Structure 1
């Protein structure tokens, strides 16, 4: 089959494939089975739901799910505990709220995008143009389920820390740069030009991905093939970015308004708490909420006084505006009480770690508390405590499903946490991080300390 014929076959979805395309990603149309029911993930088109839309989403989560909402590491919204019979009513509620959820692949915008944040071009408009002009290619079954596209309007805030297959960066109101396979610093530029040229370049990239195989990513593209499609790419100089990744806390804007970044503790909030928070925001004339990567959300258009009021009140709604909040350094799943697969209450254990062993939360290592061996909350190696029928499995640098380095009885977990704290305090050298200390003392010493009576 010729190359162009193969591309068109993949785009049309006619190539015989033994499995479904989107099975790896929970969507509104295809929720994913979990221990607490079905999980749906959605990203509102444009990334800016209104306060009223968020309230309607929270009500739907209560009626159709178990009331738990999450913000993912990339800034999407997740609703937990749906049931087969409530999936359609939930989707209808989302539609009734006026929340437009585009099909995969996800197109991500910086949460603080728009003219008020210094954008030189309209990122939201570019998203719509991409979906309109490249709909046939974007919905091709051969694309990878997790293919990601970032559109950056060139403002003060960006997604430079977030990796993507395809990145579009506005250099000016008339010019865009297209780069692939990396974060803001490492992505490789392939095209520069008008909005039309940028959209055409994205289309060429999608065709190229479809031509090299089933569900390939931009990192899989052979350099020679890439140059054959973009012969002028080596002449493109990388554009320096002066933007920053927005963080939790209060940000003063040039127009005199303020923005506050918040995090739900452990990335999860109950719909009742969210509804109370939204009612509180309603009294401050807030109009929209912007979910963001790293499990954050941003409230915009505040006065300095209103931003201070949100800061002071966030904790009672299960939110934090403190960049040093240790809860943000622990990855936890839903846990027992919310997930039938979990053997322990992960949030309670996280609070115990914060209280009894803050030394391990200096930011030098990833700490993952998983209720079972599936490891839903953190699919990468970490300092992992995984729940089991007979207690807890500790994996010092691995996945929840890996063979444990130590096993801890259920009744001994708090004492084990305290012993770990004492070990780090006694062994850590001046200027040494918790990770460096644990790496140096080694697995045998750590497991022996945890097993001491």
Structure 2
């Protein structure tokens, strides 16, 4: 039941279906060429299954010990990882998917994200950061990141860029060119203040609970200028969206965050045929194609659907989060994604949006470490049902099979005729 462990390319993690390795694309962007190469390598050296994580990463599964190195070579060849294990471990920087392609963005999120990554590579004193410690750069605009669970968050501010820390609404102004220096100062403040505690916290929000956000800002040499309004995770905007200049983007949902490598290859083909030749990642388990002409939107939607991705914003699977479950995860006791698909097909979640149902293979709740309207936690091959809580909360129903879960969901307010 270990928590706090994050795999990377150079520190793969053993799981029920072999080793898994995480690829962290800089500025949420993968070229079509790189995506196609990753898909081919995943099929050759792994089991061909790919997870799209809530950190805007790609996670590849099913490697034997001999398969990791040749897969890593492909990743390095396409510039998607740092060759230093400590750097790769702390290189956790989420960015707005559209970047400079969004004329309504407040600042250059992709440029700032690259600058933070460069700073991390040159700051060995930050290699002590916990593996889950992360930064987010949200330029606002058409696809704002909202609350992505990062520890240090750069967001639109009254004068361009503002920064806040997880667990508090306090904000400080920050010039765009100072983003990497501010990120470093806050990370160092976290390390200094955390190690002074008898039980050192491993995430910023826990440190803020202990010492307050003012102390963190003060230690980093920053002066808060006011309080912002924390933004929750926006619901995925599936489908085509307009941008200025006669083009737009298409956001494709990935059911339960899992797709086959072949689907990634087909999406790469669409990226080259219809747009700018890149695939963008989001923290909402979805993928974005950018630079699509409005008249091409229907053709792109057909191609995305043919690849097995979600194109209908009313698809009930968008209201669900499911971890990998058995047999992929050794901690799980339930086939979560198979069961989630059965629940979606039952119709009890039709018409919902946002995260309503979390299907977890165990009480750790890795896929959604926050409350959901309904959480299913696998235990001994069945599910405990938690209402308005996390997977480790006290259950309201215990030991249900999938049909029993569907019966409970059928009594929820959203399932009643309107």
- TM-score in terms of structure 2 length: 0.80
Q: Do 2:171 and 2:228's aligned partners in 1 also have CA atoms closer than 8 Å?
A: yes
- SS at the partner of 1:80? strand
Distance 1:192 1:335 in 2: 42
Q: Aligned with 1:85: secondary structure?
A: coil
What do residues 39-79 of structure 1 show as CA deviations (whole Å, max 9, x unaligned)? 22222112211111111111111112111111112321111
Cα distance in 1, alignment partners of residues 140 and 353 from structure 2: 30
In 2 relative to 1, CA 114–388 (structure 1 residues): closer, same or farther, beyond 3 Å?
same
Within 1, Cα distance between the matches of 2:378 and 2:165? 39
TM-aligned CA distance change 1:191 to 1:64, over 3 Å: same
Aligned residue for 1:113? 99
Match for residue 124 of structure 1? 110
For 2:220 and 2:324, how far apart are their aligned partners in 1? 45
**Distance change >3 Å, CA 304–CA 205, structure 1 → 2:** same
Per the alignment, residue 408 of structure 2 pairs with 420
Deviation digits for residues 319-364 of structure 1, max 9, x if unmatched? Answer: 0122221112222233446557655543332232123351588458
Find the aligned partners of 2:326 and 2:221 in 1 and give their Cα distance: 55
Give secondary structure in 1 for the equivalent of 2:55: coil
Instruction: Note closer, same or farther for the CA distance 1:79–1:227 as it changes in structure 2 (3 Å cut).
Output: closer
2:134 to 148, 152, 176: 148
Counterpart of 1:4 in structure 2 is: none
| 1:114 alignment partner, SS class | helix
Indicate conservation of the 8 Å contact 2:323/2:336, yes or no.
yes
Give the distance between the partners of 2:350 and 2:118, measured in 1 at CA.
48
For 2:44 and 2:37, the matched residues in 1 are separated by: 11
Counterpart in 2 of 1:188? Answer: 170
Question: What's 2:277 paired with?
Answer: 287
**SS of aligned partner of 2:163:** strand
In the TM superposition, what is the alpha-carbon distance from 1:162 to its structure 2 partner? 2.4
The farther-off stretch of 288-297 and 377-386 is 377-386
- Asked if structure 2 preserves the Cα contact closer than 8 Å seen for 1:176 and 1:192, the reply is yes
Kindly provide the CA deviation profile for residues 19-45 of structure 1, in whole angstroms up to 9, marking residues without a partner as x: xxx971111111122211122222211
Equivalent-residue separation in structure 1 for 2:405 and 2:54 (angstroms): 26
Extract unaligned runs of 5+ from structure 1: 1-21, 436-453
- Contact 1:111–1:298 under 8 Å retained in 2: yes
Could you tell me whether the CA contact under 8 Å between 2:346 and 2:406 is conserved in 1?
A: yes
Distance 1:64 1:376, change over 3 A: farther
> Following TM superposition, by how much is the alpha carbon of 1:272 offset from its aligned partner in structure 2, in angstroms?
2.0
SS in 1 for 2:189: helix
Rounded Cα–Cα distance in structure 1 between residues aligned with 2:325 and 2:222: 52
Deviation for aligned residue 1:304: 1.6
- The answer to whether residue 204 in structure 2 is matched with residue 218 in structure 1 is yes
Do 1:385 and 1:392's aligned partners in 2 also have CA atoms closer than 8 Å? Answer: no
Structure index of larger Rg: 1
TM normalised by structure 1 equals 0.74
CA drift at 1:231: 6.9
Match 1:308 to one of 292, 298, 310: 298
User: Which residue matches 1:96?
Assistant: 77
In structure 2, the residue matched to 1:259 is 249
Aligned to 1:33: 14
Q: Does residue 369 of structure 1 match 2:359?
A: yes
Aligned residue number for residue 56 of structure 1: 37
The alpha-carbon deviation at position 180 of structure 1 amounts to 2.0
Counterpart pick for 1:406 among 376, 398, 403? 398
Q: How does 1:288-437 map to 2 (within 5 A)?
A: 288-336=278-326, 338=328, 345-359=335-349, 362=352, 366-371=356-361, 375-380=365-370, 383-386=374-377, 391-397=381-387, 405-408=397-400, 413-414=402-403, 416-417=404-405, 419-420=407-408, 424=411, 432-433=413-414
Please give the secondary structure, in 1, of the residue aligned with 2:10: coil
Cα distance change on mapping 1:359 and 1:49 into 2, 3 Å = closer
**CA separation in 1, counterparts of 2:64 and 2:56?**
24
- The CA RMSD over aligned residues, in Å, is 3.6
1:366-388 per-residue CA deviation (whole Å, 9 max, x = no partner) reads 43334456654344455444556
- Report the secondary structure of 1:306's partner residue: helix
Partner SS, residue 367 of structure 2: coil
**Map of 1:439 onto structure 2:** none
- 2:192 counterpart of 1:200: no
* Partners of 1:365 and 1:434 within 8 A in 2: no
Q: Check conservation: 1:210, 1:216, Cα contact below 8 A.
A: no
CA distance in 2, matches of 1:239, 1:146: 24
Decide whether the 8 Å contact of 1:370 with 1:385 is kept in 2: yes
